[in-house]
């Protein structure tokens, strides 16, 4: 605040304070400050990017897109607005549009593993599996700080499992568990893999760990974990547990349906 008092007409001061507030989770203050920065300097790409991110968080994708596209226009060689625009399209399931933006992002910033990860995911969604595999592997080659992607191994391991490349998948899913040990999805996916491999005891450990972890995003639902546990227990001959979890998988709530009823 002292910096603003000393330089009340300096847009950079407002922007940096806004970025700091955003990083601290003080979003209302961050939004007011970035608006002030843009009122003093309308063609300010970094401020437009930050505003676009906040508009997306507020559930205003049209306004967010406008802000990010303006940043792309002003700073065509800056990878960040393309990256954030790609995330906006990815969240809206606009996979082709997302692919276009992530292609630009990796071309401008080829050391960003996150962009390769998103690009691979969206290519995969479009059925472009051969290119998706290449992109995931390129991302892994550059997966290091400061932009390290903790879920790139998970996504590539999951991709390999879908293609029945089981031993390759195991390498990456084992690494994913070590990188994100508090995440349900990594144990769930590795549990599926170990079930297919016939390692039922390890599959059980993975699935039981998945059941202990919350997934507020709803990426891996309770019913999916229950169904996996039921299948594993059946293979282990623990038929009562298999029955109990089969019943749970039938009665577990699906979050989207819950919201629709409210």
Domain 183-262 homologous superfamily, CATH: Tetratricopeptide repeat domain (1.25.40.10)
* Domain covering 1-76 in this structure, CATH number: 1.25.40.10
Task: Band the pLDDT of 230: cuts 50, 70, 90.
Answer: very high
- Does 6 score more than 70 pLDDT? no
Whole-model pTM?
A: 0.90
Residues 6+ apart with CB under 8 A from 54: 22, 27, 30, 31, 34
Query: Tens of pLDDT along 123-157?
Result: 999 999 999 999 999 999 999 999 999 999 999 99
Q: How much is the mean pLDDT over the chain?
A: 94
Contact yes or no for 52/84 (Cβ under 8 A): yes
Domain borders along the chain are: 1-76, 183-262
Q: Provide the pLDDT for residue 259.
A: 31
Query: Tens of pLDDT along 168-221?
Result: 999 999 999 999 999 999 999 999 999 999 999 999 999 999 999 999 888 999
- Does 261 score more than 60 pLDDT? no
């Amino acid at each position: 605040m002292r910096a603003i008092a000393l330089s009340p007409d300096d847009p950079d001061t407002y922007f940096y304070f806004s970025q700091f507030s955003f990083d601290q989770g003080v979003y209302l203050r961050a939004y007011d400050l970035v608006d002030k920065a843009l009122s003093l300097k309308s063609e300010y790409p970094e401020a437009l990017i930050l505003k676009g991110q906040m508009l997306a968080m507020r559930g205003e994708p049209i306004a967010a897109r406008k802000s990010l596209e303006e940043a792309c226009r002003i700073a065509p060689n800056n990878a960040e607005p393309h990256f954030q625009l790609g995330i906006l399209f990815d969240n809206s399931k606009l996979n082709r549009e997302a692919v276009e933006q992530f292609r630009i992002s990796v071309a401008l910033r080829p050391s960003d593993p996150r962009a390769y990860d998103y690009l691979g995911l969206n290519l995969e969604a479009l059925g472009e599996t051969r290119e998706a595999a290449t992109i995931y592997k390129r991302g892994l080659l550059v997966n290091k700080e400061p932009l390290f992607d903790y879920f790139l191994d998970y996504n590539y391991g999951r991709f390999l499992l879908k293609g029945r490349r089981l031993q390759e998948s195991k390498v990456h899913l084992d690494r994913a568990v070590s990188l994100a040990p508090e995440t349900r999805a990594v144990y769930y996916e590795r549990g599926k893999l170990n079930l297919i491999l016939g390692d039922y005891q390890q599959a059980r450990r993975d699935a039981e760990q998945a059941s202990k972890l919350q997934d507020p995003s709803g990426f891996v639902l309770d019913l999916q974990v229950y169904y996996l546990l039921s299948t594993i227990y059946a293979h282990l001959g623990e038929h009562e547990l298999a029955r109990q979890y089969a019943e749970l998988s039938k009665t577990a709530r699906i979050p989207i349906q819950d919201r629709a009823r409210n």
